[in-house]
Amino acid sequence: MKLFSDNLKTLNYYAIWLHGLSFIGVLVAFLLKNEEANFNTELFEFKVEALSNGDRDVNLGTRKTTKITTGMLKAFILLMFGFTAFIHYFYYSDGFGTGAYTEQLRAGKNVYRWIEYAITSTAMIFVLSVISGVKSSDSVFSICTANMVLMSLGYFVEVAPTKEAKIVGLVVGFFLLSCIWYVILFNFYRRVSEVEKLDNPNKPGEKRKIPSWVKQVLAPMFFWYTSFGVVASLYVKNYDKPGFSFVTYDRYYIILSYLSKAFMGYYLTFGLTRPENKDAELKVKVSV
């Protein structure tokens, strides 16, 4: 079987169309629903408002630092699909005819994949953080930075010279993954709890409600992110065994890339274009 096999070439060809059509479909959705998102997208930071008890006690407040516009969030989602389609064309054309992709596969690595993931997955994490209720600008910056470091660890696992080093990279990677998703999930479910404790102005005596499917939607997103770590774990387990083929794992990544970006990208698109809640206004207001 050729290293740059017809099967791998075909997968990349399909990926071009799938991500490209997703880009077009999402763009059309944004053009048809060219409105501001109907939830709060502002980021805040803490500020000291008062000191007492000999400066040992601190009263903290918040101040608005950044207004994340709906247009910015939409641009990040489009970037994710558009840049991914471009990269798969790069693979399909074998580095625009330079043989760069084949050279990487022959060396048992793919630096281009991890560069693409560092850009596209970080864009996705940024939008997801804002939509899911992470209101601290420092937290959003830290999450995005940690995600880029996580992607660099993916490349490190492929180029590390020993199995021990690869395992260390894998363990640190899962730790970073856990930290990123802890912040996202903790903030999301805290916001859900806060909203559901508020009175519903349209239904006296009742509390505001958030649909159960909204509460569960982050679980499959976490699954898709974790699945990349599973592929990396299988790679570390098998890379030094007879018959190992790096091409096989590149196929896994191509398939996972589309499935995860389709699910998450479409959900984030829905989140930015969903109709306004007629039962109650569910915009989150931050107070400390």
pLDDT at 264 > cutoff 70: yes
Give the confidence band of 197 by pLDDT, cuts at 50, 70, 90: confident
- Hey, how many other C-beta atoms are within 10 angstroms of the C-beta on 104? 19
Q: What percent of the chain is predicted at pLDDT more than 70? A: 91
DSSP the chain: --SS-HHHHHHHHHHHHHHHHHHHHHHHHHHHT-S--SS--EEEEEEEEEEETTTTEEEEEEEEEEE--HHHHHHHHHHHHHHHHHHHHHHHTTTTTT-HHHHHHHTT--HHHHHHHHHHHHHHHHHHHHHHT--BHHHHHHHHHHHHHHHHHHHHHHH-SSHHHHHHHHHHHHHHHHHHHHHHHHHHHHHHHHHHTSB-TTSTT-B----HHHHHTHHHHHHHHHHHHHHHHHHHHHTTSTT--HHHHHHHHHHHHHHHHHHHHHHHHHHHHPPPPSS---------
Q: What pLDDT is recorded for position 214?
A: 65
Give the range among 114-123, 159-168, 211-220, 266-275 with minimum mean pLDDT.
211-220
Residue 13's nearest CA partner among 80, 74, 70, 89 is 89
User: 168 versus 259: which is more confidently predicted?
Assistant: 168
Instruction: Flag whether pLDDT at 212 surpasses 80.
Output: no
Confidence class for position 276, pLDDT limits 50, 70, 90: low
Average pLDDT of the chain? 86
| Amino acid identity for residue 229 in this structure | G
Closest CA to 119 of 89, 175, 76: 76
Greater confidence, 130 or 86? 86
Question: What pLDDT, on the 0 to 100 scale, is given for residue 75?
Answer: 95
pLDDT at 242 over 60: yes
> Averaging pLDDT over each range in 32-46, 47-61, 96-110, 202-216, which range is the top one?
96-110
Task: Please report the pLDDT score of residue 211 as a whole number.
Answer: 63
Q: What is the pLDDT of residue 283?
A: 42
Going by pLDDT thresholds of 50, 70 and 90, the confidence category of residue 229 is very high
Please check whether the domain covering 6-273 is classified as CATH 3.90.320.10: no
In percent, the amount of the chain with pLDDT more than 90 equals: 51
Confidence of residue 103 (pLDDT cuts 50, 70, 90): very high
Phi, psi torsion values for 96, nearest 5 degrees:
55, 40
| pLDDT confidence band for 219 (50 / 70 / 90) | confident
Q: Which residue has the higher pLDDT, 131 or 278?
A: 131
Indicate if the pLDDT at residue 187 is higher than 90: no
Global pTM reads 0.86
Which pLDDT score is estimated for 286?
37
Give the pLDDT of residue 99: 94
Looking at residues 242-261, what average pLDDT do you find?
91
Q: In this structure, are residues 104 and 110 in contact, taking their beta carbons and an 8 Å threshold?
A: yes
